[in-house]
């Protein structure tokens, strides 16, 4: 069918029949798909076209003629506009169903007969993030913190970020006001001038310790000693860093990290183990749900106590160390050298002697082990969004682990990888875990048993 005669800025009435994986409403004009911001299934909206492509287009709802009973109205629309909480206009019960449904749709398209369980949600799906990276700009002559409008670099000034730990929000305001007091300038992105680009704050959930990182375009900040003293006056702040990022880039952290005061790390706990977190450590941002996610992964592994385990993409060792007391041996493998150092240190802190951590690619290690006739009973994988490399799937077919537990953050690549492994592994079910309430991100746990 020919594309309907639609162009940018056209206004029209649309009936919304679905939600896309990004959480946008889906409408059809003839057979042409439009993705509509701030629209929910079952709604009729007046909308304006914002972009028309060859096979689909985009629109945004101007007003709602017929509302969904699942629409939430008492949360400020700014959280949808900035993309901080793109699903905050949808009831939480429906968010959980949406995440379950997204995985089901992917499996159906791939002809995979795998049951998708109900999503494990939170009692309180707000104020959960233990890490914030808040952009800083110079607005009306003042250093200002906030967040970008979606698909732009227009900063909307904000103080309450809805999904962040409230103590982090308060600390960002406090640091902002200290920087203002000493006339430090916010970053001017257009002209690549100014000083502070980002304020990053991490807060350990169990210990309450905080780390502050000031990301600056320049090394020299006037009054930096006074600023350091005032930031460290909050007894919860255990660590203060200056990060230098001189480049014209969207990457937040630069290469150079200088400790201005306090400890080089903060301490936290997870499933009864202690962890040291440094500025660049990968550490899950939702501490309550992380425990559910890892406990589920351990339960799905159905451990007997004599297993040899490989923890791929092991990061600072959180999954591998969480199950070390339930198995014979854990080997964590990670390409980031600093993370491997952190993981080894975390093993020492917890007196865990049956776990070691290697720098490298999991596929290379598995292929070497296969040549030496070494066995892997359980392979734990928690890959980035791009999923498993084909070379890793090939190495799995080489070494033939009895069981795989796949922790995924992307239903599309999860589906692709399960399809590739489904000839040799039995896969019964997937359980989604809501690690990022109010957003469209979906984590899940799936167990695979060798046929």
Active centre residues (catalytic): 409
At residue 151, φ and ψ (nearest 5 deg) are 60, 30
Residues 383/313, Cβ–Cβ less than 8 Å: yes
In order, the DSSP letters of 199-221 are EEEEE-TTT--EEEEEEESSS--
3-state helix, strand, coil in the chain (%, to 5): 25, 35, 40
Residues 6+ apart with CB under 8 A from 141: none
How many other CB atoms sit within 10 Å of the CB of residue 368?
13
Give CA–CA dist 429/435, Å, rounded: 19
The half-sphere exposure of 144 on its side-chain side, counting CA atoms within 13 A, is: 15
Give CA–CA dist 394/396, Å, rounded: 5
Buried b or exposed e, range 77-105, using 16+ CB within 10 angstroms: ebbbbbbbbbbbbbebebbbebbbbbbbe
Give CA–CA dist 373/22, Å, rounded: 45
Give CA–CA dist 138/194, Å, rounded: 8
Give CA–CA dist 392/362, Å, rounded: 7
Residues 6+ apart with CB under 8 A from 206: 268, 269, 287
Give me the sign of the Cα torsion angle 53, 38, 79, 293: negative
Give CA–CA dist 49/27, Å, rounded: 12
Element (H, E) at 274: strand 273-277
Residue 329 forms beta bridges with which residues? Answer: 308
Parallel/antiparallel/unpaired status of strands 308-312 and 273-277: unpaired
Alpha helices in 282-440 (DSSP H): 287-301, 318-323, 337-349, 362-371, 390-399, 411-421
Nearest-CA neighbor of 37 among 95, 92, 104, 82?
82
Give me the sign of the Cα torsion angle 219, 337, 290, 326: negative
């Amino acid at each position: 069918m020919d594309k309907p005669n639609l162009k940018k800025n056209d206004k029209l009435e649309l009936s919304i029949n679905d939600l896309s994986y990004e959480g946008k409403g889906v409408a059809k004009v003839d057979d042409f798909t439009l993705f509509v911001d701030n629209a929910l299934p079952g709604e009729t909206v007046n909308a304006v076209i914002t972009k028309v492509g060859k096979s689909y287009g985009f629109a945004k709802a101007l007003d709602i003629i017929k509302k969904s009973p699942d629409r939430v109205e008492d949360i400020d629309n700014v959280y949808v506009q900035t993309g901080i909480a793109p699903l905050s206009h949808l009831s939480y019960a429906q968010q959980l169903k949406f995440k379950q449904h997204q995985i089901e749709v992917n499996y159906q398209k791939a002809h995979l007969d795998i049951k998708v369980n109900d999503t494990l949600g939170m009692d309180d799906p707000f104020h959960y993030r233990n890490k914030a990276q808040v952009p800083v700009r110079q607005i009306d002559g003042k250093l200002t913190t906030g967040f970008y409008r979606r698909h732009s670099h227009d900063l909307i000034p904000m103080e309450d970020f809805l999904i962040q730990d409230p103590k982090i929000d308060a600390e960002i305001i406090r640091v902002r006001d200290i920087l203002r007091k000493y006339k430090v300038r916010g970053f001017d992105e257009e002209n690549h001038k100014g000083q502070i680009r980002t304020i990053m704050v991490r807060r350990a959930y169990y210990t309450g310790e905080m780390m502050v990182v000031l990301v600056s375009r320049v090394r020299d900040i006037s009054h930096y000693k006074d600023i350091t003293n005032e930031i460290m006056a909050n007894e919860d702040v255990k660590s203060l860093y200056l990060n230098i990022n001189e480049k014209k880039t969207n990457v937040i952290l630069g290469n150079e990290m200088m400790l201005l005061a306090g400890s080089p790390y903060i301490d936290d706990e997870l499933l009864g183990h202690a962890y040291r977190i440094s500025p660049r450590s990968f550490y899950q941002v939702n501490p309550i749900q992380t425990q559910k996610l890892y406990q589920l992964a351990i339960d799905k592994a159905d451990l007997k106590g004599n297993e040899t385990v490989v923890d791929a993409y092991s990061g600072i060792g959180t999954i591998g160390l969480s199950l070390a007391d339930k198995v014979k041996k854990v080997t964590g493998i990670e390409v980031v050298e600093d993370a491997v150092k952190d993981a080894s240190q975390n093993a020492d802190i917890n007196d865990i002697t049956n776990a070691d951590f290697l720098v490298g690619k999991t596929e290379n290690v598995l292929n070497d082990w296969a040549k030496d006739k070494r066995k892997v009973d359980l392979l734990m994988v928690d890959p980035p969004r791009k999923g498993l490399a084909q070379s890793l799937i090939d190495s799995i077919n080489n070494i033939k682990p009895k069981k795989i537990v796949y922790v995924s953050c992307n239903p599309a690549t999860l589906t692709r990888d399960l399809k590739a492994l489904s000839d040799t592994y039995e896969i019964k079910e997937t359980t989604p875990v809501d690690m990022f309430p109010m957003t469209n991100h979906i984590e899940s746990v799936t167990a695979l048993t060798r046929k």
